Amino acid sequence: MDKHILHSVLETLTAGNNITINFNEPFEELSGDYMITASKVGRGRGGSRVIWIAPVSNPDDEFGALEIDGKEKALGTGTSEYINTIVFDGKTFGMESPIETSRKTGTARQRETVKRARVSSDVAQRQRVAKALGDILTENPATNFKLVSSNRTSELNGEWKVASFVYADNSLQMHLVDIDNPDRIFEFDSTVHGVEVRDAQVIEVSAV
């Protein structure tokens, strides 16, 4: 799909809009009906656009990236060559003859492909969290964090002292002690909990 056409379409999309996306190879199995969960301006220059989407039939399978040559690439103008058409508000944007993959692909097979895309995106999120926090701790092991989970009832939420940590191989383990309640501890493992970290703040850096 032409990048400029795609950019114009994505500019009009907001969270909650329903669209149909037909993908090109090797992502034809992702073709189907989606709900936009977020539409934003991408990083860097050029005003690129990126979106996060979830299948209408299974809203929990949200994703916002495609795995290309082993790397995560944000879904949007930067992956325009993998998008054939977008149907929105009764209008088709892209190629004159939309591919029919979405009608030919079985629902179970499509769901499995979407699941793989989401899992791949989750792995990247876990690694980003591990690197961000691990690099800070490597520089100053006495750092304290305020961690905010995407789940408001998660035990991860709180202000923590890092009693000890291990950072290696794109993963981070931390033994956390609640600053206000030393009896409350949390064993953080980025390979498990990294995907739910919505925000992390350095709240105090003690002298080493």
| Rounded Cα–Cα distance for residues 196 and 100 (Å) | 36
Q: Is the pLDDT of residue 106 over 80?
A: no
Residue 164 domain boundaries: 128-205
Q: What is the pLDDT of residue 138?
A: 93
Q: How far is CA 100 from CA 32, 40, 116, 141, 143, in A?
A: 10, 28, 22, 55, 54
Same domain, 43 and 91: yes
Residues 90-104, mean pLDDT to the nearest whole number: 57
Is 13 inside any structural domain? yes
Residues 55-66, mean pLDDT to the nearest whole number: 87
The end-to-end CA distance of the chain, in Å, is 54
- Cis omega before residue 26 (within 30°)? yes
Is 157 inside any structural domain? yes
Is 180 inside any structural domain? yes
Per-residue pLDDT tens over the stretch 65-79: 888 887 888 899 989
Residues 150-165, mean pLDDT to the nearest whole number: 92
Is 116 inside any structural domain? no
